[in-house]
């Protein structure tokens, strides 16, 4: 558990002064970018101190000058703090509603226009979430979503949720598939223990939703792209 203590301790120790300085600054200026950058930096430093290394490929494939939807597979609670700091620019995130209630961090999520989702699958709430995400994209802010909707228990890809693909078709934003692996052995689902290792993150060529007549075809293309960056055993 030593690595868990190091990572959590680093986040707590650095988040306190970060919140004291950057939350009031955000409220005064209306600019959340510094808060997002310092939060991402804290997460990245904590993982590095906890023995986690990064192997990132394909960042040059991410388009410049437009807001994209990053669509990643999900195998561990380490995926978000590993992925967000290496994204180019600021991103909003679809995340569990319960996380918005966390002290300090949850308030930062709200300031950053993160979008809370409920596992219950309320259709009306889903429509509101998609509408909110479209507005975020119009502001030039990326959206990041873990398209399986939950973490895979054994690392193998799960079926994708439809919501991100409704968003892609409604907004017309480019989809950037992202493959993540390695974290499934560093922090397995259901465990609080964190182990050192290397997280592999692969950014794939963007996919234009306009090139697909249906959401299902777009979903299949994104799934194939994400799978191409994963070890063979994780693809099914």
pTM: 0.93
Beta bridge pairs of residue 177: 71
User: 171-187: per-residue pLDDT in tens?
Assistant: 999 999 999 999 999 99
Cβ-contact 125, 73 below 8 angstroms: no
CATH number of 54-234: 3.40.1130.10
* pLDDT attached to residue 118: 76
Alpha helices in the chain (DSSP H): 2-29, 33-49, 79-83, 105-111, 123-138, 163-171, 183-186, 215-228
CA distance 148 to 104: 27
User: 26-48: per-residue pLDDT in tens?
Assistant: 999 999 999 999 999 999 999 99
Cβ-contact 26, 34 below 8 angstroms: yes
Please give the average per-residue pLDDT across 96-104, as a whole number.
83
Domain segments of the chain as ranges? 54-234
* pLDDT attached to residue 120: 65
């Amino acid at each position: 558990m030593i690595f868990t203590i190091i990572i959590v301790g680093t986040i707590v120790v650095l988040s306190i002064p970060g919140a004291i300085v950057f939350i009031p600054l955000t409220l005064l200026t209306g600019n959340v970018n510094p808060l997002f950058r310092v939060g991402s930096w804290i997460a990245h430093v904590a993982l590095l101190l906890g023995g986690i290394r990064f192997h990132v490929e394909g960042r040059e494939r991410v388009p410049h000058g437009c807001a994209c939807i990053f669509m990643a597979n999900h195998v561990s609670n380490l995926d978000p703090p590993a992925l967000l700091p290496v994204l180019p620019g600021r991103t909003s995130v679809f995340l569990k509603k319960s996380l918005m209630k966390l002290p300090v961090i949850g308030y930062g999520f709200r300031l950053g226009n993160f979008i809370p989702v409920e596992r219950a699958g309320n259709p009306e709430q889903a429509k509101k979430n998609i509408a909110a995400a479209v507005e975020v994209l119009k502001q030039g802010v990326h959206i990041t979503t873990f398209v399986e909707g939950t973490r895979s228990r054994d690392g193998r890809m799960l079926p994708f949720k439809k919501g991100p693909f409704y968003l892609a078709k409604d907004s017309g934003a480019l989809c950037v598939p992202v493959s993540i692996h390695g974290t499934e052995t560093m922090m397995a689902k259901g465990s609080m223990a964190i182990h050192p290792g290397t997280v592999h993150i692969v950014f794939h060529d963007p996919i234009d939703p306009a090139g697909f007549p249906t959401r299902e075809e777009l979903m299949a293309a994104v799934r194939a792209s994400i799978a191409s960056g994963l070890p063979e055993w994780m693809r099914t």
